[in-house]
Amino acid sequence: MPNKLPVGILGATGIVGQRFIQMLEQHPWFEVTWLAASDRSEGRPYAEAARWRLKTPIPDRVASMNVSPATPDGAPKIIFAALDAAIARELEPKFAEAGHAVVSNSSALRMQSDVPLIIPEVNSDHVALIEKQAWRRSSGGFAVTNPNCSAIGLVMALAPIHRRFGLESVMAVTMQAVSGAGYPGVASLDILGNVIPFIKNEEEKMEEETQKLLGTLNDGGSVVPAPFAMSAQCNRVAVEDGHTESVSVRLKKKAKAEEIVAAWNDFTAEPQQLRLPSAPDRPVVYISASDRPQPRFDCDLGGGMTAAVGRLRPCNVLEWKFTVLSHNTIRGAAGAALLNAELLKAKGYFS
Ligand SMILES: NC(=O)c1ccc[n+]([C@@H]2O[C@H](COP(=O)([O-])OP(=O)(O)OC[C@H]3O[C@@H](n4cnc5c(N)ncnc54)[C@H](OP(=O)(O)O)[C@@H]3O)[C@@H](O)[C@H]2O)c1
């Protein structure tokens, strides 16, 4: 496949790394040529090192690839990174400094002022921040990030209504799947028959990332956070995949329910216009059945890249309330980074 761009995966053996491998198997533009993980996995064939948790088999070509050390030597130019934040904070800058394009999932660099935090349908213009990065000037390398898995579904639902009616305040309560904690993640005895009302740093990430994502890029080349009030409460629940969120909003302009639903259903953006391979036809879909969306039935909508919204109704405290669901390891992680990489390629950052 001589025309495909070689890509590497840092953290290839983890839950998100596995999704990258699955989503890249038939990708028309990118081909996995390099896999890296911790010392535990280094030097072993991938199929031996990874405890594969997905329902499709490990692609044959990948199964026999050896896991490389997590250093830039010999790594391809484009790196998808799926590392724990503490390790990412140390390794991602090393790859960017060595001239690699780091397309990251972790929170390590998301809030750094010169690092774009991107949902391609929402704020593709923020990629211009790349030019502010010292790595870009010294080696050509750079870093781009996608949001936290619960911020992404929320922002996809908020963006169309923020554009039409303006947001004044937002409250979101999450019910987050166990796969969001990686593998092995939360112990079964802690989560079965239970709800855990705490996910470390998650509420802070949701609040600050939402405002950066919906913020505006100013002339000086930095993002001014969106000014609405925002509060998040995060819970871990015994669901395998799919983060569900109960959201209440107060809008700046008066809106009717059908106008809000139309804002969601009509929403398309640059990824759809550019026909990026991983872009869903419809990024947001409103489901009118009164008991949906549900993770079991709706989190694979649009190949896991669509945010499903439902239950729009008046709120007696704010103004409107609704439910949003998104797939946490696809739209919330590997699929998000893949779409970011496709956007970067379409904008000429890989030539
Ligand atoms: N799961 C989700 O839904 C989700 C969604 C959005 C964002 N994220 C973020 O994505 C990142 C990865 O999450 P995950 O759920 O895939 O975690 P995970 O299942 O725990 O996987 C972690 C990966 O990092 C590797 N690793 C650990 N220590 C390392 C080291 N010192 N050097 C190099 N590699 C090392 C592991 O390799 P070994 O197998 O060799 O230990 C494994 O490949 C995290 O930052 C997470 O917050 C996750």
Q: Give the list of residues 6+ apart from residue 10 with CB closer than 8 angstroms, or none.
A: 17, 36, 37, 70, 79, 80, 81, 82, 83, 91, 92, 95
What percent of the chain shows pLDDT beyond 90? 97
Across residues 217-236, what is the average pLDDT?
Answer: 95
pLDDT at 336 over 90: yes
What percent of the chain shows pLDDT beyond 70? 99
Q: Is 299 labeled as catalytic in the residue annotation?
A: no
* Nearest alpha carbon, ligand 1 atom 28: 38
Cα 322 from Cα 157, distance rounded (Å): 10
- Which residue has tokens 């405290």? 317
**Tens of pLDDT along 59-73?**
999 999 999 999 999
Question: How many whole angstroms from 152 Cα to the centroid of ligand 1?
Answer: 18
In this predicted structure, what is the pLDDT of residue 221? Answer: 85
Question: Which ligand 1 atom is at minimum distance from the Cα of 18?
Answer: 16
* Nearest alpha carbon, ligand 1 atom 43: 11
Across residues 229-254, what is the average pLDDT?
Answer: 98
**Tens of pLDDT along 93-127?**
999 999 999 999 999 999 999 999 999 999 999 99
Question: Which ligand 1 atom is at minimum distance from the Cα of 70?
Answer: 33
**Tens of pLDDT along 151-191?**
999 999 999 999 999 999 999 999 999 999 999 999 999 99
Contact (CB, 8 A) for 348 and 132: no
pLDDT at 4 over 90: yes
Q: Around 34, how many Cα atoms within 13 Å sit in the side-chain half-sphere?
A: 20
Question: Which ligand 1 atom is at minimum distance from the Cα of 12?
Answer: 43
Q: Give the list of residues 6+ apart from residue 230 with CB closer than 8 angstroms, or none.
A: 169, 170, 171, 172, 206, 207, 210, 211
Which of 10, 15, 94 gets mutated to test ligand 1 (max ligand atoms within 8 A of its CB)?
15
Question: Which ligand 1 atom is at minimum distance from the Cα of 13?
Answer: 43
Question: How many whole angstroms from 82 Cα to the centroid of ligand 1?
Answer: 5
In this predicted structure, what is the pLDDT of residue 220? Answer: 81
**Tens of pLDDT along 251-302?**
999 999 999 999 999 999 999 999 999 999 999 999 999 999 999 999 999 9
pLDDT at 1 over 70: no
pLDDT at 198 over 90: yes
Report the pocket of ligand 1 as residue ranges, CB < 6 Å.
11-17, 37-38, 40-41, 70, 82-85, 87-88, 105-106, 149, 179-180, 182-183, 328-329, 332-333
DSSP β-ladder status, 243-251 and 167-176:
antiparallel
Radius of gyration for the alpha carbons in the chain, expressed in angstroms and rounded: 19
Mean pLDDT for all residues in the chain: 97
Question: How many whole angstroms from 196 Cα to the centroid of ligand 1?
Answer: 21
pTM of the model as a whole = 0.97
**Tens of pLDDT along 70-94?**
999 999 999 999 999 999 999 999 9
pLDDT at 2 over 80: no
* Nearest alpha carbon, ligand 1 atom 1: 180
In this predicted structure, what is the pLDDT of residue 351? Answer: 85
What the block records as the tokens of 119 is: 């949902």
